Chain A
Amino acid sequence: MIRYILQRLFGMIVVMFLVLTIVFVILRVTPGDPAAVMLGPDATAQDIAELRSRLGLDQSLGVQYVYYIGQVLRGDLGQSIFLNIPVTSALLDRAEPTFFLTLFSLVIASVIALPVGIYAAYRRGSFVDQAATTLAMLAASIPSFWLGLILMQFFAVRLNLFPVSGYGGPGSTFLDRMYHLTLPAVALGVVSSALILRFTRASMLDVLGEDYIRTARSKGVIERRVVLKHAFKNALIPILTVLGLTAAVLVSGAVVTETVFGLPGVGNLVVSAVLRRDYPVIQGALLVIAALYVLINFAIDMLYLAVDPRVRY
């Protein structure tokens, strides 16, 4: 088992390294001089030369690459050109709303998808099953930013039940912040519940057909216990995977939804960085989020080892 963990760890490091390389390459495919692009048309030749040397763009590609890797390994993601602060602090300042938005949406998605998915599988082919499957498909077809706009218009502007945008003032309480996150989290949660619902249903269907479920029933175990304890517990592994995957999808959705609701999160930071051509911020955000994704996947794999006694390598 230790061998397996080490193997996975090595694989993860290789992937991380590739992620780093991809992020490095993306900035370099910019047509023309990135420094000139970043500074805009009004920049003087001297400004451009200064920025080039500040970013190390006057060195050869190989030197730049080695320097970049070294920099990242030291935990330095560079300096934001527009905000004039280190990228790490810019990201940390904006991490909270994105983190809670992702978590809140994941909770909403699970609260909708898990019970409905379990019930749909249990009553396979019934009206509820068909309706749930169709609704899941519909939910997956809605752009989350559009749903966000509609929810905002109806619940915030017309009914005045929720704040229209923002994340509360600087001194606002945790509850107040969550209150601000409710509408965006519902928009994201509803849209992404589809994936979880489908997986829950499919993996419950697999398990419900197993021999040990028949055994449990013939033993006279009550139905609710068969479904929730015997079946659901065993269906949990693929569901865990999809929860991890959904978290990644949610980060993607958060980028756009944050813009709709004016939330000061990482997504908003990236979008404004793109509009201002603040490349170090875009690079840093990409790197951190991809690294988090790789780490979450690794953690899920390790969780398998803990949850399922059958997984032994």
Chain B
Amino acid sequence: MTDITIKTQPSERSKFIRRFLKRKTVAAGMIVLVLFVLLAIFAPLIAPYSPSKLSIVNRLKPPSELHWFGTDEFGRDVLSRTIYAGRLSLLVGAAVMSLSAVIGVTLGLLAGFFKQLDTPIARLIDAMMAFPEILLAIALVAALGPSLTTVIIALSVVYAPRLARTVRASTLVIRELPYIEAAKALGISTPHIMTRHVLRNLISPILVQGTFLFASAMLAEAGLSFLGLGVSPDIPTWGTMISAGRQYIGQADWMTLFPGFAIILSVLSLQMVGDGLRDMLDPRLRRDL
């Protein structure tokens, strides 16, 4: 008797992930992103110094073997602070992405699915999007009082309509497809159709836009912190670090340069991943079918 070996086919999902990572820009983006996340999680183990350790003798020291990114006006190690700051910047990005996804997806689904809700929600989205991002966020932070939670809420309110618009547009298309008709004919309840049949097919556009939202939220948080309207200046975020470095830019430009590089690298990596996802998930742009 001959042995029959059954070769298992790789699942669709693992094929997708493999194809996704094959793209050079996506792979590079993912590596940098994972690196930033690891740095944030293991900051206490990786950072060479405590981010708040003062040392007046080491004030404004340029980058050296002891302090790779130099030190700030209080002699604190800029590298350690940049690593710790990543925690908050990534946290804000992730929190804003999740919260605006919850608000945006709910609004978009309701507008796309129920004709009577469509016009009011669509107009509300239009009105919300008329406000420039930072300006609306500033006004909300001013009304609610500056704090980490307020920044997250304000930025989520700013970005949710953008996601809602995408979800609404896609829901309008999916709603008319035969399988939704079939599900309705089978007597499946509307909430079930919305979550299981419509939302499932919206995962890719939401994922793509979510990645870009993450990047935008990180940039916006840095802007707010730079203006002194975000988190307290004592808490290290890349924005507050640049804001503090601004006063010393003539004598200690490393205080401004390195947190800036951290923002650019993390935002760039998110954009590369988002771009790769979009190319892969949008059949019109797919070249490797």
Contacts and interface: CB of A to CB of B under 8 A. Distances in A.
Nearest to B145: A31
Interface residues of A, number: 52
Contact of A143 (B25, B132, B143, B263): B263
A30 B123 contact: no
A145 B272 contact: no
Interface string A46-75: 000000000000000000000000000000
A157 interface: yes
Contacts of A255: 132, 134-135, 138, 227
A137 B279 CA distance: 15
A182 interface: no
A248 to B, nearest CB: 6
B80 interface: no
A137 B123 contact: no
B144 A29 contact: yes
Interface string B196-227: 00000000000000000001000100110011
A249 interface: yes
A249 B223 CA distance: 13
Interface in A28-53: 29-31
A146 interface: yes
B77 to A, nearest CB: 21
| Residue from B132, B246, B253, B263 whose CB has the most chain A CB atoms within 10 Å | B132
| Residue from A14, A145, A248, A259 whose CB has the most chain B CB atoms within 10 Å | A145
A251 B267 CA distance: 21
A213 to B, nearest CB: 19
Given A30-B144, A146-B260, A141 B271 contact: yes
B243 to A, nearest CB: 9
A180 interface: no
Contacts, number: 140
A231 interface: no
Given A22-B128, A26-B143, A285 B123 contact: no
A285 B25 CA distance: 41
Interface in B36-60: none
A291 B139 CA distance: 16
Contacts of A283: 139
A186 interface: no
A293 interface: yes
B226 A282 contact: no
B142 A277 contact: yes
Contacts of B141: 274
Interface string B252-289: 01001100100111011001100100000000000000
A14 B142 contact: no
A153 interface: yes
Contacts of A290: 127, 130-132
B128 to A, nearest CB: 7
Interface string A114-158: 000000000000000000001001101111011001101100010
Contact of B135 (A19, A22, A141, A289): A289
A141 B250 contact: no
A142 B264 contact: yes
B249 A153 contact: yes
A2 to B, nearest CB: 22
A15 B131 contact: no
A107 interface: no
A99 B227 CA distance: 21
Contacts of B135: 251-252, 255, 270, 285-286, 289
A18 B123 contact: yes
Q: Which 8 A-B pairs have the closest CB atoms?
A: A18-B127, A252-B132, A141-B267, A141-B268, A290-B130, A146-B260, A274-B142, A252-B134
Given A22-B127, A22-B128, A145-B223, 7 more contacts: A19-B127, A141-B268, A143-B219, A149-B246, A157-B249, A255-B135, A274-B229
Interface of B: 25, 123-124, 126-128, 130-136, 138-145, 215, 219, 222-223, 226-229, 242, 246, 249-250, 253, 256-257, 260, 263-265, 267-268, 271-272, 275
